[in-house]
Structure 1
Amino acid sequence: MDVVSMQEAVVDEIVRKPEPETAAWPVPFEATPPENRLEMPVQSFRRWKGPERRAPAAPKAWRTPWLARLFVFGGAWALTAYGAWEMYNVVSVSRTTFLQYVLLLLFTINFSWIALAFTSAILGFVTLLFGLLKSPRAETLTEKTVVVMPIYNESTARTFAALAAIRESVEATGLGEHFDYFIVSDTTNPDIWVAEERAFLALRQRLGPEARIYYRHRPKNHHRKAGNIADFVTRWGGHYAHMVVLDADSLMTGTCIVRLAAAMEADPDAGIIQSLPLIINRNTFFARLQQFAARVYGPVIATGLAVWSGRDGNYWGHNAIIRTKAFADHCGLPDLKGKPPFGGHVLSHDFVEAALIRRAGWSVYMLPDLTGSYEESPPSLIDIATRDRRWCQGNLQHSRIIGAKGLLLATRQHFATGMMAYLASPFWLMQLVVGILIVLQVNYARPEYFTQEFTLFPVWPRFDPERALNLFALTMAILLAPKLFGLLLTLFDGKLRRACGGGIRLTLSALLEVLFSAIFAPIMMVIQSGSVFQILLGRDTGWNPQRRDDGSIPFKDIVRRHRTHTMLGLVAGLSAFMIATSLFAWMSPTIVGLVLAIPLSWASGQLALGLWLKRHNLLVTPEEGAPPPIATRANALQAEFAKAGHDDADGLLALHADQVLRSAHESMLPQVQPRRRGEIEPERAVAQAKLIDAETVSDAMIWLKPKERMVVLHDRALLGLLANLPEGPAHAGAEAPAR
C-alpha cells in the first residue's frame, strides 16, 4: 500500500467517527433546481451559410433605419473629407514633406472617429428633443424568466443585498411568480466562497423555501464570465424562456425587469434587449465626474446609437434580457487559435454573443428610454485603468473576429467602434509626436536649396496658421458637441434641471466635467497607448475582481503607477519649450495633465473631495437628490447583511464551528469521480498530510495555503478530517510538520 493510500485509509477511519448531534437544516434544502439541460454547440467564425439565418416571425415590424444610417455615416464621411481637405491645405502651403503626409493621415483617422460620434449624437439629440423614440410598455407576462447574477470574489453583503432588493422590487409588481433568481459564482478565494454560501443560506432562511433563489459555485472558472453563463445555460437553461443577466454591481427595478420581459414576449424576433444603465452610488471625485457625464451626456449618445443600429444593435454584457434557447443555440463561443492576448478564449464575449445571435436571424436592440436600470463605476483613475486594460485586450481581440463569416455590416461596425475606442489613444499620441518632429524640422532642419525641381526659393515645411486655427476650432467643436447636446436637453427639462442643482450649477458642473476630462485625457491617452503596445507585444492581462467601494489607493502605489507619466510630461514640456514657445503653448494641456498625473490620480479617488462637491450641488444627478427606492433598499440591506460578518470570517473555521453549515456546503458540492490508481494530486496530498499532522484546527489554519484550502473545500473526506480536529491554541510555534 502506498503512502497516499495509507493516508486515505486514516482519513476514512476518522470520517466514520460519529459527530456530536447538532441541529439539521430546518427545511428540505436544495441549492439549485433539478437540471434542465440545453445543448450549446460551439459556433464557427469560418463557416456560415445564408440559409442558416432564420426568417423573421414578424417581418412587418422589422425595419432597418437606412435613413438614420445614411445621415450618421454619410455625414461622418462628409465631415471627414472636409477636415482632411482643410488639413491638406494647412500643410501644403509649400512643398509637402513626408512627415506632413503622415500627419495628414493620422489626423484623418482621428477626425473620422470624432466625426462619427458627432453625427450619431446629433441623431440622438433630435430624437430626444422631439420625443421620437418610445419603448413598449406592456406589463403582462406568461413565460418564466430567470435573473442571473454572475459573481467573482465579490463582497457578499453587497451582491446578496442587491439581489434581495431586486427580488423585493419584482415581487412588488405582482408578477413575482414569473421570476427565479440564480447566483452563479466563479469565486476562487476560499473565504469568500464560504461567505457566499453563508449569505445564501441566511437569505434563503430569511425569505423561506418558496423564495426561488438559487446558488451554484463552479469548481473552475473556465472561460471566466462567458463560461460561467454558458455553464448555467447548459445545465438549467431549459427551465427558462428568458434570462436577465446582471453584473455584481447591477441594480434593476422590478418595473424595468418586467417591462424587459414583456417586451421580449411581445417580440418573437427579439434575441437580446439591452437597457441603458445609469451610474449611481458614486461619491469619489473621479467617479462623480463619470456619474454626471453618464447621466447628462449618456442618453444622447446611447439614443443615437440605438436609432441607427435599429435591430442590429449591441450587447454590453449586463442589465439586458436574452432569449435563452436562442442564446444556447447560437452563442457557444469557440477558442481562438494561438495564445493570449489575441488567442485563447474570447475575453469581451458580449459583443461576440450579440454578433452571433444576430447572425442567426434574431434581433438585438436597446431601449434607451427604459428607466430603472443602474450600475456603479470604478472609484478612481487607477481602478478604471485596470478595468480598461482588460477591455482593451478584449476589444483588440475582436480583430480576429470582425471578418467572421455571416456577420452583418452593422455588427462589424460595432466591432470596429470598440477597437477604435482604444486605438484612438495611440493614434492621437502618434499625431502629437509627428507634430513635434515637424516643428523640430521647421526650426532646425537646413533648407533644401537644390531640389530636383527648379525653384527660386529654398524648400522647408510650412503651415497655413489661419487655416490651422480654424481647423482646431472645428475639431474642438465636434469633440465637445455631444456634451453640449446633453447639457441643452437637461437645461430644457425643468424637472431634470432642478434635480441637477438648477441651471447655473448644472452649467458649472458641465464646465467642471469638461475641464477635468481634458486634464485627465492625456493620462488616459498614455495609459491606453501603453496597454495597446503591451498587447501587440503579446502580454496577456489577468482577470482581477473590480474594486467597487469608494476609497483611496495608497499614495506609494499612485506614485509607482504614475511616475513614468510625470517624467514623460516633464521631458515633453522641457523639450517643447526649448524647441519653440509656440509649441510649448500648443502642448500645454497635454503637458499639464502628465506632469500633474500623481496628484490628479490621488485626487480622483478622494471621497472627501467628491462629498464636498456634492454638498455644494456640483456634479449632482437626479438620482442623488431623490435616490431610487431600490438603491435605498439595497444600501440598507447591505448594512444589515454586513453586520453578520460573513465577509470578514475565515471560511474553514466557519465550517469547522458549524456542522449545519458544513452539511449544507457538502450538499452543494458536485459529485466527483474517484481518483484512479497511480494518479496523485499533489495539492490534495499535501493538504491531506497537513490535516493529519495538525493537532488543532489552529495548526491547520496556519499551515494550509490558499490553494490547499480550496482543495479542502472541494473534498468531502478532507472536510471530515477538518471537522474532527479539536479547537485550541496553535501548536507550539505553529511550525509546519516535517516531511
Structure 2
Amino acid sequence: MALSLDTVGPDSKNATAGRSEPSMPPENRLEMPTQSLWRWSASQERKPIVRRPRWPTYLARLFVFGGALVLTGYGTYEMYQVVSVSRTTVLQWLLVALFTVNFSWIALAFTSAVLGFLALLTQPRTPPALPQALASRTAIVMPVYNEQTARTFAAIEAIYESVEATGLGAHFDYFILSDTTDPEAWIAEERAFLDLRRRLGSRARFYYRHREKNHHRKAGNIADFVTRWGGHYEHMLVLDADSLMTGECIVRLAAAMEADPDAGIIQSLPLIINRNTLFARLQQFAARVTGPVIAMGLSVWMGRDGNYWGHNAIIRTRAFAEQAGLPDLKGKPPLGGHILSHDFVEAALMRRAGWDVYMLPSLEGSYEESPPSLIDLSARDRRWCQGNLQHMRVIGTRGLKLPTRQHFATGIMSYLASPFWLFQLIVGIALVLQTTYIRPEYFARDFRLYPIWPRFDPERALALFALTMGILLAPKIFGMLLVLLRGKERRASGGAIRVVLSTLIEMVLSALLAPILMLIQSGSVFQILLGRDTGWQPQRRDDGSIPFKDIVRRHRWHTVLGALSGISAFMIATSLFLWMSPTILGLLLAIPLSWLSGQLGAGLALKRLGLLRTPEEHVPPPIAVRANELQRRNASFGFDEQDGLLALYCDPELRERHVEMLSPASRRKRGEIETDRALAEAKLADAETVEEVLGWLKPKERMAILKDPALLTRLVGLRAAASLEARAAE
C-alpha cells in the first residue's frame, strides 16, 4: 500500500518532479596518482611561465624571521639575567629553554603582524573591477557530512543566486558531495536536492552525489569528484558546509586563476559571520579585527609559497589531480593512516611540483561560521590537533620548499605550544618551591665560597613580563588601530569607544579562556602521543547551550587544578600567587566561563549594547541575509526532522529517484557476511508492518536498506499499520 507523502512533509510530491534529469553529469575522468613523500627529483618540477621578482618576498621574510630572531635572542638574554643572579641550577636552565621556545613562537607572530599592519596601512582599498567575461568553467563543490540540509542547501542556493547576478553564471556548476553516514540526513539531502532542482530547473546546473563509503573522509570526497568528473572543469572552488561566498568574490577568484597560468591554489580570507553566542561573537570580533592583520602579514612574507586552508579557495583541477593524491602514512592512527589535515599537504605537494599557492587577503565576500561554544571548539580542535601532529611525519618530505616546511612547523607548534607553556608553569612552581623550602648547599664539593641557592632578579622579571605581554597583545592592538583609523569600519563597529571597549573585553575573556584551552590542547597532545585516535564527528554549527552537567563533567578537573594551584602558590609565596593569578583565575572559572561561552543571551546582550560588533553584523552582507531567509524556508519543509525510510515508503517517485542516484554497489566477497544488511533483512522478514520494522531498525541497518534496492522493495511490500493509515487518511 503506497501512502500519501503528505504524511512526511509539505509539498513533497512535487519535490520529485523532473526525475529524468540525472543527478550527476557524465563522467570525465582524471588520473590522480598517489604521490610519494620520499621519492622526488627536481626535474619533476614544472618551470614557471611568468617570471616574477622574488626580492620583495625575501625582504619580507628577512624582516619577519630576522626580527623574530633578534627579539628571541633579546628575550632569552633577559631571561638568563633574571635567573643568573647566583649560580644557575638545572631547573633554571630548563626554565630558560622553555621560555625561549615559547617566546620565539609569539615573537614570530608579532613580527608577522607588524608586517601585516604596515601593509594594510599602505595598500589601496579600492577593489579591482569585476571581470566582464570568463573563458573557463569552474565547479563549485560543497562536501557535506551529516549536516542539516536547511542550512547547507540555503547556502549553496544563495551562492548560486549571487553568482547569477554577476552575469557570468553560465561558467559555474554546483555540486553537493555527500559523505553522510546518517540515514535520515541522507534522504533529507536527496529530498532537498530534488526540491532545489524542481524550483530552479535544469538550467541551474545543480548536482548531487552520495558516496557509499566515506573513504579518506573529506580528502577522499574531493578526490572522488576530481577523478570522476574533474575533466569537465579547469578549476574547482571548494567550500565547507558553513561557507558563504559572494558571486563577485567567486568571479574575481576565477578571473585571478585565469590571469595567472602558474597559480595552483588561490586562497581567500573567510570572515566569521552569523554568530550570536558569547564565545562565537568573541571569535567573530577577533577574526574581523585581528584576522586581516595576521592574514596580510602571512600573505606578504609567504608570497607564492603559501598555504591552503581547505575551503573558500579556488584550485586548478588538473594540477590538483596530478600532484595532490595523498598517500596513507605507515602505521595506525592517530599518527598513521590517512592524513586528517589534508589541505596543508595538498598545498605542499602542489608547491613542490612548481605550482604557486597564495592568498588574496583583501578580497571581500568570503565568509564562514565558527563553533558556538568552548566545548564545541575543543571538539573540533582535537581533530585538528591530530592532523597537525601527523605533519611531524610529513615535514621531512623530499622536495618540499623551505617555506612549506615552515608552514608545517607552525601548525605543529600551534599545538605543542600548550604543553610547553604547561611545562614552563610547572618548572616555575618547582623553582619557587626549591627557593622557599630547600636549604641551600653551603659547602659545595668544588669548595665555592658562596652557597648554591637559586635567586631571581625581580625587576628584570617584571620588565620581561611586560615585554612578553606587549608582544602577545600587539596584533590585537594593531587590528583595533586599523578599525579606528578607517571611518566607515569604525562607525559600523559602534564608534571609537565601543571598538576600544570591545577589544578590551575580547582581550580579558581570551586571557581567562587561554589556560583552559592550554590544558585541553595539552591533554589532546598527550592522548595522541599515547595512541588515542580522535575519529571524525560532525561539527555542531547552530547556536545553543550545552547541558550544564556536560560542562561540569568536562571542566571539573580544570577547576580542581585551579584551586589546588591557587592554594599551593599562596602557601609557597605571595609573589608566585600573583604571577600565576591569571592562570589560576581562568581555571577556577572554567565551568561558569564555558557555560557562559555557549549562552545566546550573553552574546545578544552585548550585541544590544553595540559591543563586539563587526561591520558585517551592523550591516549584514546581502548574501548572508538571503541565506538566512532560504534557511528558514527550507526548515519549513521539514526534511531534516522526518523519517527517511518512511518518506521512501510513502512516495514511489522519491524511491525511484533514490535508486537512480545510488552509487554502484561494491562487490561482496564470497563467504563474507555484511552484518548490518543481514540483520536488516532478518528484521524485514520478521516484521508485519512498516511501522513495526521502522521501530526495530538501528541506524546502520537503515543505511543497509537505503543502499540496497532489493531490501527497499521488501520494505515497500510491508503493509501499513492502522495508525499510519489513519494519518494518511487525515
- Asked if the contact 1:40/1:234 (under 8 Å) is kept, the reply is yes
Map 1:9-20 to 2 at 5 A.
none
Superposition deviation, residue 457 in structure 1: 2.9
Other-structure match for 1:111: 103
Q: CA RMSD in A?
A: 1.6
The residue type paired with residue 57 of structure 1 is I
Map 1:466-505 to 2 at 5 A.
466-505=459-498
Give the 3-state SS of the residue equivalent to 1:210 in structure 2: helix
Map 1:585-604 to 2 at 5 A.
585-604=578-597
Deviation per CA, 1:161-181: give whole Å up to 9, x if none. Answer: 000000000000000000000
- Cα distance in structure 2, aligned partners of 1:353 and 1:487: 34
The residue type paired with residue 79 of structure 1 is L
Give yes or no for the alignment of 1:31 onto 2:23. Answer: yes
Superposition deviation, residue 456 in structure 1: 3.1
Other-structure match for 1:354: 347
Superposition deviation, residue 56 in structure 1: 0.1
Judging changes above 3 Å, is the alpha-carbon distance between structure 1 residues 475 and 388 closer, same or farther for their aligned structure 2 residues?
Answer: same
- Cα distance in structure 2, aligned partners of 1:449 and 1:677: 80
The residue type paired with residue 44 of structure 2 is E
Deviation per CA, 1:654-687: give whole Å up to 9, x if none. Answer: 1001111100000001233665654432322221
Superposition deviation, residue 690 in structure 1: 1.2
Deviation per CA, 1:85-142: give whole Å up to 9, x if none. Answer: 1111111110000000000000000000000000000000000011169876562311
Other-structure match for 1:652: 645
Other-structure match for 2:400: 407
Other-structure match for 2:246: 253
Other-structure match for 2:617: 624
- Asked if the contact 1:25/1:664 (under 8 Å) is kept, the reply is no
- Asked if the contact 2:14/2:198 (under 8 Å) is kept, the reply is no
Other-structure match for 1:553: 546
The residue type paired with residue 574 of structure 1 is I
- Cα distance in structure 2, aligned partners of 1:599 and 1:86: 38
- Asked if the contact 1:696/1:729 (under 8 Å) is kept, the reply is no
Give yes or no for the alignment of 1:524 onto 2:517. Answer: yes
The residue type paired with residue 89 of structure 2 is T
- Asked if the contact 1:135/1:367 (under 8 Å) is kept, the reply is no
Judging changes above 3 Å, is the alpha-carbon distance between structure 1 residues 57 and 609 closer, same or farther for their aligned structure 2 residues?
Answer: same
Give the 3-state SS of the residue equivalent to 1:60 in structure 2: coil
Deviation per CA, 1:391-429: give whole Å up to 9, x if none. Answer: 001001100000000000000000000011111111011
- Cα distance in structure 1, aligned partners of 2:507 and 2:15: 61
The residue type paired with residue 710 of structure 1 is M
Give the 3-state SS of the residue equivalent to 2:52 in structure 1: helix
- Asked if the contact 2:432/2:576 (under 8 Å) is kept, the reply is yes
Judging changes above 3 Å, is the alpha-carbon distance between structure 1 residues 308 and 726 closer, same or farther for their aligned structure 2 residues?
Answer: same
Other-structure match for 1:277: 270
Other-structure match for 2:68: 76
- Asked if the contact 1:358/1:364 (under 8 Å) is kept, the reply is yes
- Cα distance in structure 1, aligned partners of 2:14 and 2:539: 39
- Asked if the contact 2:489/2:615 (under 8 Å) is kept, the reply is yes
Identity of aligned residues (%): 71
- Asked if the contact 2:17/2:194 (under 8 Å) is kept, the reply is no
Deviation per CA, 1:168-214: give whole Å up to 9, x if none. Answer: 00000000000000000000000000000000000000001211000
Superposition deviation, residue 459 in structure 1: 2.0
Superposition deviation, residue 60 in structure 1: 3.2
- Cα distance in structure 2, aligned partners of 1:89 and 1:150: 54
Deviation per CA, 1:633-666: give whole Å up to 9, x if none. Answer: 0000000010000000011001001111100000
Other-structure match for 2:418: 425
- Asked if the contact 1:696/1:730 (under 8 Å) is kept, the reply is no
2:58 aligned to 38, 63, 66, which one? 66
Other-structure match for 1:85: 77
Superposition deviation, residue 377 in structure 1: 0.3
- Asked if the contact 1:62/1:311 (under 8 Å) is kept, the reply is no
- Asked if the contact 1:157/1:647 (under 8 Å) is kept, the reply is yes
Other-structure match for 1:12: none
Structure 1 ranges of 4+ moved more than 6 A: 21-24, 61-64, 132-135
Other-structure match for 2:42: 50
- Cα distance in structure 2, aligned partners of 1:606 and 1:468: 39
**Which has the higher mean CA deviation after the structures are superposed, 517-526 or 127-136?**
127-136
The residue type paired with residue 114 of structure 1 is I
Map 1:157-236 to 2 at 5 A.
157-236=150-229
- Cα distance in structure 2, aligned partners of 1:413 and 1:134: 32
Unaligned runs of 5+ in 1: 1-20, 732-739
- Asked if the contact 2:560/2:588 (under 8 Å) is kept, the reply is yes
1:465 aligned to 449, 458, 465, which one? 458
Superposition deviation, residue 585 in structure 1: 1.1
- Asked if the contact 2:84/2:456 (under 8 Å) is kept, the reply is yes
Superposition deviation, residue 455 in structure 1: 3.2
The residue type paired with residue 109 of structure 2 is A
Superposition deviation, residue 453 in structure 1: 3.3
The residue type paired with residue 580 of structure 2 is M
Judging changes above 3 Å, is the alpha-carbon distance between structure 1 residues 236 and 22 closer, same or farther for their aligned structure 2 residues?
Answer: closer
- Asked if the contact 1:137/1:263 (under 8 Å) is kept, the reply is no
Give the 3-state SS of the residue equivalent to 1:322 in structure 2: strand
Map 1:531-546 to 2 at 5 A.
531-546=524-539
Superposition deviation, residue 25 in structure 1: 3.9
Deviation per CA, 1:31-57: give whole Å up to 9, x if none. Answer: 000000000000011110001000001
- Asked if the contact 2:480/2:503 (under 8 Å) is kept, the reply is yes
Give yes or no for the alignment of 1:701 onto 2:688. Answer: no
Other-structure match for 1:125: 117
Other-structure match for 1:726: 719
- Cα distance in structure 2, aligned partners of 1:435 and 1:265: 56
- Asked if the contact 1:127/1:133 (under 8 Å) is kept, the reply is no
Deviation per CA, 1:239-276: give whole Å up to 9, x if none. Answer: 00000000000000000000000000000000000000
Map 1:297-316 to 2 at 5 A.
297-316=290-309
The residue type paired with residue 98 of structure 1 is V
- Cα distance in structure 2, aligned partners of 1:439 and 1:677: 69
Unaligned runs of 5+ in 2: 1-12, 725-730
Give the 3-state SS of the residue equivalent to 1:663 in structure 2: helix
The residue type paired with residue 82 of structure 2 is V
Give the 3-state SS of the residue equivalent to 2:637 in structure 1: coil
- Cα distance in structure 1, aligned partners of 2:55 and 2:722: 72
- Asked if the contact 1:698/1:729 (under 8 Å) is kept, the reply is no
**Which has the higher mean CA deviation after the structures are superposed, 672-681 or 493-502?**
672-681
Superposition deviation, residue 23 in structure 1: 11
Give the 3-state SS of the residue equivalent to 1:302 in structure 2: helix
The residue type paired with residue 258 of structure 2 is E
Give the 3-state SS of the residue equivalent to 2:202 in structure 1: coil
Judging changes above 3 Å, is the alpha-carbon distance between structure 1 residues 73 and 445 closer, same or farther for their aligned structure 2 residues?
Answer: same
Work out the number of aligned pairs and report it. Answer: 711
Query: What TM-score do you get using the length of structure 1 for normalisation?
Result: 0.94
Other-structure match for 2:86: 94
1:575 aligned to 556, 568, 573, which one? 568
- Cα distance in structure 2, aligned partners of 1:148 and 1:63: 36
The residue type paired with residue 208 of structure 2 is Y
Map 1:676-695 to 2 at 5 A.
678-695=671-688
Other-structure match for 1:5: none
- Cα distance in structure 1, aligned partners of 2:436 and 2:54: 60
- Cα distance in structure 2, aligned partners of 1:125 and 1:330: 35
Query: What TM-score do you get using the length of structure 2 for normalisation?
Result: 0.96
Superposition deviation, residue 546 in structure 1: 0.5
- Cα distance in structure 2, aligned partners of 1:435 and 1:675: 60
**Which has the higher mean CA deviation after the structures are superposed, 117-126 or 452-461?**
452-461
Other-structure match for 2:259: 266
